[in-house]
Structure formats: C-alpha cells, structure tokens
A and B are shown apart, each in its own frame.
Chain A
Amino acid sequence: MTLVSPPDLSRYARFVQRTGRLGGRWVLAWPAVILGIFFVIPFLLLLRVSVAESGFGAMGNGGFTAASYLAAFQNDVFVYSVVFSVVLAAVVALISIAAGFPFTYAITRMSRRAQVCWLVFVLMTLSLSEVLITFAWQVMLAKRVGISNLLVWLGLMAEPVSLSPNLGAVLACLVYLVIPFTVLVLFPGMSRIDPQMAEAARTMGATPARTFFTIIVPIMRGPIVTCLMMSFIVGIGSYVAPMVLGRPEHWTVAILISKAATASNDMPLASAMSVLFLAVASVICLIIYRLGVRKV
C-alpha cells in the first residue's frame, strides 16, 4: 500500500478489482532500493562529510564544523580555479554552439540515411573517453607528427613546433569534447522545424542567411538555452584535457578536488569543494536559464 500515493487510489482500486493483486508493482522496489542506497544515501553522506572535522581518518573525526568550507574559501588556488573553470566553460560553450548550431541545422535538412551516418559519427566522438580525445590532441599538437608539420608544408610556418601545453590547446580540445553534446541537444528541436517555414521566407525574397537568423534561430531559443547549460556543465567538469594540455594555471576545479581527495586524502575538504563547485555550477545554470527566458 505504501507504493500508492493518495491521488492514485481510484486507479489503484480499479486495478486491484481487475487483477486482485499488486500487478507486479513490487518490482519497483528494485530501482527504488538501488537509487536510494547507491545515490541518495551517498549524496547525503557527501554533505555530512563536508562538515566533518578533518583529522586523522580520511573521513575526518566526525563532529560538525564549517572548517573545510572556510579552508576552501581561503585557498586562493581553489578560488582562482573556480573562476577560471567558469570562464573557460563559458567560452567553450559559446564557441561550441556557434559551430554546432549551423551544423545541426545542416544535418537535419539531409536525407534520413545521411542523417544516420552523421549521427553515428557524432555519437562516436561523443562517447570517446576524455582521455582518448586528449591523447589524440596531444599527438596532433606534437612537434613530430602534428598539424605544425602541415603548416610548414603549406608554407605558413618556418619549422614544426610543439603546440602544447597552452591555453589554445585546452580550448580546442574542450570544444571538441563539447560539440557532440551541443549537436545532440539541438537535434530534436531542429528536426521538428517545418521546412516549409524556411521555404516561405525564401519565396518572399529572404536570403538563406537572413532566413537562418530571423526564422530558425528565434524558434530554437529554448533548445539554445538548454544547450548552453549542458555545454557549460560538460566544460566545467573537464579534467583530463586541462591537466595534460594545459599548464598548472589552466587547472580546473575538478583537478583540485581530485588532488584533495586522493593526494592529500582530505575527504572533508574534497567534499566541501565538491558541494561548493556544485553550488556555483547550479547558480550559473540558473542564470543562463533566467537570461534565456526573460528575453522572450
């Protein structure tokens, strides 16, 4: 009975009448237990550990204190990395949407077979590990094999150089990581746009570019907002790319949190940093959402 909330009583009564049983609803206990034990409880434990006194067990000494939060605030490197991660993720999100938006529009206008090919390709790059993509970029930016050789061959550069570590390498790699997400978030809305709308605009004399900016972009306002949030989250959580392709001043929050958790083994501090990080990311998503809604 506990499975049934009050508004469903009539449905439930009807159902019991028909089958005389719970109708297998006990099966719901499986996902409920899994999610309860392995997601809800661990998450609450994170909050708990973040206010524990740090000390000799890795989990701290118990007790309640805001010391870890204060330590995080007073840690200049952490505060700087939060700001840096936010700016980096914002830039990456903007570049990705600027390139991914016209691309998604182009593939939704293709035949079904061509769409499937492009989608399989985009999905493949989407699921490729951040490690692999970073590794591929590292190889590509290397002195011996990378694109600098191509530039030399084209006569644009005097001699091959190593193009990492630097901020540009981090940016390029992150855009590569984020673009598949932007495409997949924009795809549903884009594929539902009635092609006749663009045709109508064109018969009335609008250029393709004008049609694109005055018809397609405004229709896609909602998905664009979602897409910016999603890209932002993927970018702000990046770990491997800044670590391998960047210098220490390009390190994101994720790297600092993992260092606090594994290298210094200070779980209260790592938990407090995670909570703060989550709070910052949520607030910024909320801001993006508000900005997107208000202008309608």
Chain B
Amino acid sequence: MNNVRMAAASRNLFLFLFAAFLSMPLIIVAGVSFNATRRMSFPPQQWSLHWYADFFGDPGWMGALELSLFVGVASALLAASAALPICYFGWKYMMRLTTVLTGLGSLPFMLPPIVLAVVFLVFWSLLGHVGQVEDLVIAHGIVFMQLPIAAMALGFRSIDRALIDAAGTLGARDEDVFRTIVLPIVLPYIVSGALFVFLLSLNEYIIAQMVVGFAMETLPVKIFNSLRTGFSPSMCVGAVLFMLVGLVGYSLIAWIGDLPKLLGSESAK
C-alpha cells in the first residue's frame, strides 16, 4: 500500500514538473507583455496594458496579423475542400485513385519544412510568380492537407453503414443521403480538420519566410524579424495572442468534436 502511495506521489510530481516545463516559457512571456517599462523584467514591476495598446495601434503588427489570419482561413478552406472529396469517395467506393490521393495528400506533412520551402520557392520562381499571397495559401493548403484528411477519414469511418442502407431502401438518392445523413455526421470532423490547418498555418514560419518573406510578413515572420533587430515587448503581445488563439481554437475543436477520438483514442470513457 505504501508502494502504491509512493507511486501516486511520484506520478503527481512528474506531472507537475512536466506541466511546469511546458508552461514556464509561456508564463514568462505573458508576464513580460504586461510590463509597464520597455526593459524586460519578470515578474512585472508595474502592471500595464501599454504594450497591448501599442500592438493594436501599430499598422505594421496589425497588417501582419491580418495577413496571417487571411492565409490561415484561405489555406484551411483549400485543404478542407480538397480533403472532403478524397475522403468521401474513398469511403464510398474504395477507389485506387482515392488511395493514391490520400497518400499524396498526407506525404507533404511528413517532409522537413525546409525541403518544402525550397520546393515551393523553386516552383513559383520558375513560374515567375513570386511573393504573392496565393503562393503561401497554396503552400500551406498542401502542406497541412494531411490533417483534414485524417480527421475526415475518421468521421466517415464512424458512420453506421446500416443507416445508408436503410436510406437507400427507402428510396433516397445519393445526394439526399449525402445531405441528410453523411454531412451532419461528418461535419464536426470537417470543421476540426479545417481548424487544425488554420492553427498550424497561423504559426508556420520557415515556408512563409522563404516563399513570400521578401515581399510580405506574416505574424511569425514579423516576430522573427523583430527578434533579430532587438527586443520589444510588443513581440510578447503577439506571442500571447497566439497562445490565446491556440487555446480557443483547440477548446473549440474539443467542444464541437470528440478530441480524444480525433487524436486516435478508441475507448469512449
């Protein structure tokens, strides 16, 4: 019994240390962002929202934020719109084409980002179409397509085939079945998949830097560039913003979808 209690105590200590390791940098950055003075200090000597006003009043930061949000939304729509037919027809007919497309759509996510950055840089340079927003949207859409594919495949697999058969027996056409049965069941997975793409695109750095970095700055690129020119607490505000968006985004996914299941857990506790 003593052994079990010891194990529980050491487990809790381990969990605490783990959480501390993961949250310490975030806490310090958040603390610095609430500081009244320009000099870094933690804990803040004087609390102030000065740097938040600074951040939201600066056209440079706001422009970067807008660009990041636009690229995130557009690439999420692109990736989800391409993943949906792949998963739908893959689920319905098991065609060889859908298998190939699933593989192709999942592959970029496994490659090192620097290689993808060079791939897209070479491609757009050869086309003579460099430094455009759509270059980055397409690049992110392709790179993160694996996430909606995986999420949607899971959603389609969770549909009870008996429902489809019953609808067919009752005379529903394929379109009706898709609209009234398939879509409502799969919708949470579609939304989660798109949200994953949005959140990863928002935070992606190296591809954004190499493909369009010389023409425009997304938020991570701007933070990196200011990192090199010197410290400013506005950067911490940008970082806090990212944490909040991530926290809200994933809580949203957990709320609309089944997060443990999306991540691969099968047991419903």
Using CB atoms and an 8 Å cutoff, list the residues of chain A in contact with chain B: 3-5, 7-8, 11-12, 15, 19, 23-25, 27-28, 30-32, 34-35, 38-43, 45-46, 49, 58-59, 99, 102-103, 106, 108, 111-112, 115-116, 119-125, 127-140, 142, 144-147, 149, 176, 179, 184, 187-189, 191-192, 207-209, 233, 236-237, 239-240, 244, 253-254, 257-258, 261-262, 267, 270-271, 274, 277-278, 281
Are A42 and B22 closer than 8 Å at their CB atoms? no
Chain A CB within 8 A of B126 CB: yes
Given contacts A35-B101, A42-B123, A59-B122, 11 further A-B contacts (CB under 8 A): A8-B94, A8-B95, A15-B93, A25-B93, A28-B89, A45-B126, A139-B25, A140-B25, A142-B40, A145-B41, A237-B113
The residue on A at minimum CB distance from B112 is A237
Q: A38-B142, A103-B15 are in contact. Are A131 and B115 (CB under 8 A)?
A: no
Given the interface pairs A191-B260, A240-B224, A277-B112, the reply to whether A125 lies near B22 with Cβ below 8 Å is yes
Chain B positions within 8 Å of A4 at CB level: 95
Q: Are A116 and B260 interface neighbours, CB within 8 A? A: yes
> Are A130 and B263 neighbours in the complex by a CB distance under 8 Å?
no
Pair A32/B115 contact, Cβ less than 8 Å: no
* Cα distance A24–B84 in the bound complex, in angstroms: 13
Interface size (B, Cβ < 8 Å)? 95
Kindly state the separation between the CA atoms of A59 and B118 in the bound complex, as whole angstroms. 12
Inter-chain CA distance A121–B265, complex, in Å, is: 17
Chain A residue with minimal CB distance to B86?
A31
Tell whether, in the assembled complex, residue A120 and residue B24 are in contact, meaning their CB atoms are under 8 Å apart: no
Query: Which of chain A's residues have a CB closer than 8 A to the CB of B125?
Result: 58-59, 267
User: Nearest CB to that of A100 among chain B residues?
Assistant: B18
B42 contacts A by Cβ under 8 Å: yes
Using a Cβ cutoff of 8 Å, how many contacts connect chains A and B? Answer: 267
Bitwise, B84-110 to A at CB < 8 A (1) or not (0) is 011001000111111001001101101
Task: Provide the residues of chain B in CB contact with A25, threshold 8 Å.
Answer: 89, 93
Kindly list chain B residues whose C-beta atoms are within 8 Å of the C-beta of A112: 260, 269
Stretch in contact with the other chain, from B48-56, B159-167, B204-212: B204-212
Give, as a whole number of angstroms, the nearest-CB distance from A66 to chain B.
18
Q: Which of B5-30 contact A (CB under 8 A)?
A: 7, 11, 14-15, 18-19, 21-26, 28-29
CA–CA, A112 to B104, complex, Å?
Answer: 34
Complex CA gap A262/B173 in Å reads 55
Across the interface, which residues of A come within 8 angstroms of B221, CB to CB? 131
A129 contacts across to B, CB distance below 8 A: 202-205, 220, 223, 242
Q: Do A233 and B110 have beta carbons less than 8 Å apart?
A: yes
- A124 near B250 (CB under 8 angstroms)? yes
CB-based nearest A residue for B139: A38
Give the chain A neighbours of B85 by CB distance below 8 A: 27-28, 30-31
Residue B186, interface by CB 8 Å: no
From residue 64 to 102 of chain B, which have CB atoms closer than 8 A to chain A?
Answer: 78, 81-83, 85-86, 89, 93-98, 101
B174 to chain A: which residues have CB within 8 Å?
Answer: 19, 23-24
Partner of A136, one of B4, B26, B95: B26
> Given the complex of chains A and B, what is the CA–CA distance between A49 and B174 in angstroms?
46
CB pair A270–B118 under 8 Å, yes or no, is yes
